[in-house]
Amino acid sequence: MTNIAIAGAGAMGSRIGSYIKQAGYSVTLIDTWEDHVRAINTNGLEVQTETDTYTVNIPAILPTEVTESFDFIIILTKAMQSESMIQELYNRGAIHQDTAILTMMNGLGHDERFKKIVPHSQIFLAVTMWTAGMRGPGQILLEGQGSIEFQRADGQVDHRTEAINKIFNDAGLNAKVSNNVFQSIWSKATLNSVLNPLCSILNKTIYEFGSYEHTRAMVQPIIEEIVAVGQTRGVTLDAEALLKKIEAAYPKETQGLHYPSMHQDLYHGRYTEVDYLNGQISQYGREANIPTPNNDMLTHLIHQLEMKYVK
């Protein structure tokens, strides 16, 4: 895999892309944000960490400027931009018959949408514990450590699996091949489907939310719906373990001082990924005749807030 593209090079895409580039691979960032692309090409990508600021020289292009094909494409747009990105890459010949297309986006159902455009056997799914933030066009803020777990979406292992694992680990991204990536994706999606909308609707940090003595009465019904819906799709989730994971995020020493990303998107006037979290649970629930009133309501409340805040 000699030619790598990051399609969607915002905060996370820039983090992953810069790490792989610094490990000596050929990497191109592809993004629709013109000011960001221009800044990276003019000044390099400026990376600020807790201790250091440095520049990574890495080529950046708009999707409409793609003229070559890639062996490995990592999709890190926001979920709602991903299909148009893949379609554009496909139309421009960026995807050949052996290209591995991997996404680390949060949310559910990405493989089902992607396989309408590219063969299922070329799609890889990942969950990541790395985080990243944007400071401005061409500038990212990187804190903490993380990991990546990934698997081909149809569960098969092929020559690309080990090649991807090597690229990620050469880049220090702490990756491993999963034998049940859906379990991890659904677990993370459960955390996100609870804390993202609740903290956004309440305009609270995770710590402020967790300080209320009746949080369990709010959280448990949401988890129960997700567990029931997951069951209909062959994913077995442990409601008690998920509740513990959510509660482990409350203290100030863990994630308590943060607002979840949905809060940041909403109050900065951007659409959220709610349709790929609670909204996707509701959709799967409708398909399986499982009622999901809590997830339905959270989706509606976030859409109401989007009407108010998205410019």
The least CB distance from residue 49 to ligand NAD, in Å, is 14
The least CB distance from residue 97 to ligand NAD, in Å, is 26
11-19, 117-125, 212-220, 250-258 -> range binding ligand NAD (CB under 6 A): 11-19
Tell me which of 21, 115, 116, 188 is the catalytic residue.
188
Three-class SS of residue 257?
Answer: coil
CA-CA distance, 222 to 219, in Å (whole number)? 6
Return the percent helix, strand and coil in the chain, to nearest 5: 50, 20, 30
The least CB distance from residue 11 to ligand NAD, in Å, is 4
Q: Which of 4, 5, 6, 13 binds ligand NAD (CB under 6 A)?
A: 13
Under rule CB under 6 A, residue 78 binds ligand NAD:
yes
Under rule CB under 6 A, residue 149 binds ligand NAD:
no
In the chain, where does DSSP find H-type helix? 11-22, 34-43, 79-91, 110-114, 159-170, 181-202, 206-210, 215-232, 239-248, 261-267, 278-288, 293-309
Under rule CB under 6 A, residue 273 binds ligand NAD:
yes
Under rule CB under 6 A, residue 62 binds ligand NAD:
no
Residues 78, 134 contacting (CB under 8 angstroms): no
Residue 17, number of CB atoms within 10 A of its CB: 30
Whether 188 is a known active-site residue: answer: yes
Q: Whose CA is closest to 205, among 259, 285, 266?
A: 259
Q: Which of 28, 106, 272, 282 binds ligand NAD (CB under 6 A)?
A: 106
Give the nearer residue to ligand NAD in terms of CB position, either 76 or 118.
Answer: 76
Q: Which of 12, 195, 229, 249 binds ligand NAD (CB under 6 A)?
A: 12
Under rule CB under 6 A, residue 110 binds ligand NAD:
no
By CB under 6 A, the count of residues binding ligand NAD is 22
183 vs 15, 127, 189, 259, CA distance in Å?
25, 10, 10, 25
Give the nearer residue to ligand NAD in terms of CB position, either 10 or 228.
Answer: 10
Q: Are strands 148-152 and 60-61 parallel, antiparallel or unpaired?
A: unpaired
287 vs 174, 218, 292, CA distance in Å?
37, 25, 11
Under rule CB under 6 A, residue 31 binds ligand NAD:
yes
Under rule CB under 6 A, residue 11 binds ligand NAD:
yes
Under rule CB under 6 A, residue 131 binds ligand NAD:
yes
Q: Are strands 70-75 and 3-7 parallel, antiparallel or unpaired?
A: parallel
Could you list the active site residues? 188
State the residues that interact with ligand NAD by CB under 6 A: 8, 10-13, 31-33, 36, 76-79, 104-106, 128, 131-132, 134, 261, 273
